[in-house]
Every structure is written in C-alpha cells, then in structure tokens.
C-alpha cells in the first residue's frame, strides 16, 4: 500500500490542497491572508527548531535570535546598501548559518541537553541585548522600518496573496529538503548521534562536528524564515530575537509534534489560528492560551500530529509501520550518556 511507503502523504496531500485553496474561501481579506503568511513563516521556523529538537534531540533557547538576526541582515542590506531582497534571502541564511557554526562550535563541544538549552539561552539573550542597545546599527528598540518587499520582473510581491504563495512554495521546498536530508549520510549520522552518541562515535561518526553542522543548518533555515518575515511585514525590531518568539516556535513544534515534518506545519497553523480566535477575548487571550497549552501538553505530550496520525492509521487500517513509527515517536531525553 502506497500510504505505508510514504508516511505523511495522507496528511501532506490534503494539507497542501487546503493550503493552496485557503485564500479562496475563509481567508479572503488581506488581514486573514496575512495570517496565512504568518503560518508559513512560523512553520518554517518551527521546522528548523524541530531539526534541532526532533533530529538532534537537543534544544536551543537561542533559536529566535537567529530568526531575528536573519531578519535584520536582510533588512539592513536592503535599507542601507539598497541590495535586492533576493540577495537578502540568500545572505540571511548564510550569515545565520555562519554565526550558528561559531556558536554551535563553542557550545556543542562541551554541552548537550539541558545545559545546551541554557547556554543557547545565554547567547540568545546577548543577541537581544545587542539589538536593543546598538542603536546606530539596529535602530534600537524601535528597530528598522520600511523594509522593501521583493519584486519579481519589476512586479513587487507586496500583496498578502502573492507573498503567501511565494512563501508556501519555499516552505514546500524546505519540507522536501528536510525529508531527503534524513536519508542522506549526514542525516543518518545526526540521527545516530541522537539515538546513541557513544555508539555513533564508536563506529566512526564524528559526533561533535556533525552536530555543529546540523545546528548551523537549522540556524540558516530559521534565518531564512526571519528574512521572509522582514520583507513581508516590512519592519524588524529587537523583539524578533527575544523570548516571545522563542516561546512561539517552541509551542509550534511541541503543539504539532516533534520529529515529524508535518508536525510543525500543523502546529503553526493551530497556533496562529487559535490565538487569532482568542483575540476576541482581549486581555484574557493569553491567559486562555496558557491554559489551552497546558491542556495540550497534559493530554497530548507528543503533540497533535502524532495523535492525528494514530487516528488516520486506524481509519486507513494500515498497521504500525514499525521503524518509522518508532523512529519518529517521542524523542528520548537529551542528557547524553557519558563514556565509561
């Protein structure tokens, strides 16, 4: 049966159909279409964070800092040097990836698991402080405005609708790359370190080096997502690097389900739509959101997507597809085992 060989297709195909047609119903005004853009951007950021969480089994509290950094890089290039946003879309992931390489090298040599979470939190907070304080470059607390939209053949991708399809296409590309990357030698190396670092080293996987590159890759990806944000919403400010977005990405990943490509996409959609619906509740909004979140964690600790998948399996009658299920299930705790 084809569904079994292509895990995720049962979700991916309908999801894609919904995503492609969403602007035709429900999301017909530009405000609502702006939400769609946000979903796509958060989904991409969530996927990159999930590369660290689901594939590496690690956690970075500094991930939003790379998102904001990518946004600033691209915005800055466009505003100060008049560089085309297209170059910015390339420069942002490259810059974020390089910084990620450096920080990954510093942090991953000696820390893993919760210690790594704390260390990256430190870097993230520092980046946020710099963005806030280094006024001449970052514009201080107000940030930078009037970031230009990208244009294609003289036509500005400015409307929510156009930008949505543009971003959606890129998101699909990212999903494709992530899926294929898993089967690559590098992807397997990362996975094997996640599963058991000692064993992976003993059979020749350079654990720290692979993790540093994986970390850098995730940073590049989130930097890209940040650049997409900057050129659509057309501003950047220090909040983009802060804990608020960090929490959002974390929620997107854990809500959707970690270790799956569709989880963060679903998580982003749920997050954006639910917090939008809760907007009517005004100041109670985030209070309720916190309660909802706690409920979700309590009752679906692996996220919504795996729960959905179980239901789908029951409906289509396909049994557990052994390894895939096991491999993509809840990630184990991250405290690396010591040699000994």
Partner 1 sequence: MALLETKGLTKLFGGLSAVDRLHLRVEQGDIMGLIGPNGSGKTTALNLITGFLKPTEGSVTYEGQDVTGLEPHELARKGLVRTFQITTLFENLTVRDNILHGSHLANPTTLMGALVRSGRYRRQRADMEARARELLALVGLEQRIDSVARDLSAGEHRYLEIAIALAANPRMVLLDEPATGLNPEEAAYLMDLIRTLSREGVTILLVEHNMRLITNICTRITVLNFGAKIAEGTPGEIVDDEAVVTAYLGRRRGA
Partner 2 sequence: MNWDILGQQIWNGLLNGSIYVIFAAGLSLVFGVMRVINMAHGELTMLGAMLLFTVTSVMGLSYFAGAALVVVMMALAGFLVNRVTVRPFLGHSELVVILSTVALSFILLNGSLVVWGSTPKGVDKPFNEVLQVGGVYMTTAQILLVGVCFTAVLALYLVLTRTKLGKMTRATGQNLLGARLIGINTTAVYDATLIIASGLAALAGVLIVLISAASPNLGQPLLITGFAVVIVAGMGNVGGAVAVGLFLGLTEALFGQYVSTFYRQGYLYVVMIIVLLLRPQGLFGRR
CA-closest candidate to residue 128, choices 118, 143, 113: 143
Closer residue to partner 2 in complex, CB, 148/336: 336
Q: Which residues of 152-181 are buried (b: 16+ CB within 10 A; e: fewer)?
A: eeeeebeebbbbbbbbbebbeebbeebeeb
**Closest by CA position to 261, among listed 216, 214, 328:** 328
The residues in 123-182 that bind partner 1, with binding defined as CB under 8 A, are 177, 180-181
The radius of gyration of the chain from alpha carbons, rounded to an integer in Å, stands at: 20
Instruction: Supply 72's token pair.
Output: 């600033």
Residue written as tokens 């909004």?
285
Q: Tell me the window of 95-103, 107-115, 164-172, 198-206 that interacts with partner 1 (CB under 8 A).
A: 198-206
The burial of 276, by beta-carbon neighbours within 10 Å (0-12 exposed, 13-18 middle, 19 or more buried), is given as middle
**Binders of partner 2 among 231-260, rule CB under 8 A?**
243, 247, 250-251, 254, 258
User: Rule CB under 8 A: is residue 98 a binding residue for partner 1?
Assistant: no
DSSP calls for 272-292: HHHHHHGGGGGGGHHHHHHHH
Residue 307 and residue 314 in contact, taking contact as beta carbons nearer than 8 Å: no
Please report whether residue 319 would count as binding partner 1 according to CB under 8 A. no
Q: Examine residue 112 and tell whether it contacts partner 1 (CB under 8 A).
A: no
**With b meaning 16 or more CB within 10 Å and e meaning fewer, what string describes 117-126?**
bebbbebbbe
Q: How many residues bind partner 2 (CB under 8 A)?
A: 47
Residues 140-169 that bind partner 2 (CB under 8 A): none
Query: Minimum distance between the CB of residue 289 and partner 1, rounded to whole angstroms?
Result: 33
Which residue among 30, 152, 301, 316 contacts partner 2 (CB under 8 A)? 301
> Binding partner 1 by CB under 8 A: which of 191, 231, 309, 313?
191
Nearer to partner 2, 60 or 74 (CB): 60
Segment lying near partner 2 (by CB under 8 A), choices 84-92, 144-152, 202-210, 290-298 = 290-298
Q: Which of the stretches 74-82, 85-93, 281-289, 326-334 binds partner 1 when contact is defined by CB under 8 A? A: 326-334
Identify which range of 17-25, 113-121, 260-268, 320-328 contacts partner 1 by CB under 8 A.
Answer: 320-328
Among 82, 317, 333, 340, contact with partner 2 (rule: CB under 8 A): 333
Distance CA 102, CA 161 (A): 37
Helix (H) or strand (E) segment spanning residue 323? helix 322-328
Return the structure tokens found at 10: 């049962």
Residues lying near partner 2 in the complex (CB under 8 A): 53, 59, 106-107, 109-111, 113-115, 117-119, 121-123, 125-126, 129-130, 133, 243, 247, 250-251, 254, 258, 283-287, 289-291, 293-294, 297-298, 301-302, 330-335
Residues lying near partner 1 in the complex (CB under 8 A): 177, 180-181, 183-189, 191-192, 195-196, 198-207, 322-323, 326-327, 329, 332, 339-340
């Amino acid at each position: 049966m084809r569904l079994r060989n292509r895990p995720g297709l049962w979700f991916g195909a309908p999801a894609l159909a919904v995503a492609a047609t969403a602007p035709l119903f429900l999301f017909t005004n530009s405000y609502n279409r702006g939400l769609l853009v946000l979903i796509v951007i958060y989904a991409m950021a969530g996927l990159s964070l999930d590369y660290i969480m689901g594939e590496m089994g690690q956690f970075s509290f500094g991930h939003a800092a790379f998102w904001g950094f990518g946004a600033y890089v691209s915005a800055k290039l466009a505003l100060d040097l008049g560089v085309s946003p297209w170059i910015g879309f390339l420069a942002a992931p490259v810059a974020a990836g390089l910084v990620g390489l450096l920080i990954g090298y510093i942090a991953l040599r000696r820390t893993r698991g919760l210690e790594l979470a704390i260390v990256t939190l430190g870097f993230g907070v520092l980046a946020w402080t710099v963005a806030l304080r280094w006024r001449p470059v970052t514009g201080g607390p107000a940030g930078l405005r009037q970031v230009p939209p990208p244009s294609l053949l003289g036509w500005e991708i400015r409307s929510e609708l156009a930008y949505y399809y543009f971003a959606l296409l890129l998101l699909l590309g990212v999903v494709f790359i992530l899926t294929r990357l898993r089967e690559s030698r590098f992807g397997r190396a990362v996975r094997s370190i996640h599963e058991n670092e000692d064993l992976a080293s003993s059979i020749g996987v350079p654990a720290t080096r692979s993790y540093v590159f994986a970390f850098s890759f995730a940073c590049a990806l989130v930097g890209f997502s940040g650049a997409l944000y900057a050129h659509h919403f057309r501003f950047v400010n220090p909040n983009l690097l802060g804990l608020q977005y960090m929490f959002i990405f974390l929620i997107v990943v854990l809500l959707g389900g970690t270790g799956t490509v569709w989880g963060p996409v679903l998580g982003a959609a749920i997050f954006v739509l639910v917090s939008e619906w809760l907007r009517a509740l005004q100041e109670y909004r985030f209070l309720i959101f916190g309660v909802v979140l706690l409920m979700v964690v309590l009752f679906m600790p692996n996220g919504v997507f795996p729960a959905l998948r179980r239901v789908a399996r029951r409906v289509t009658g396909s049994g557990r597809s052994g390894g895939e299920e096991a491999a993509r299930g809840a990630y184990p705790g991250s405290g690396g085992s010591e040699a000994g």
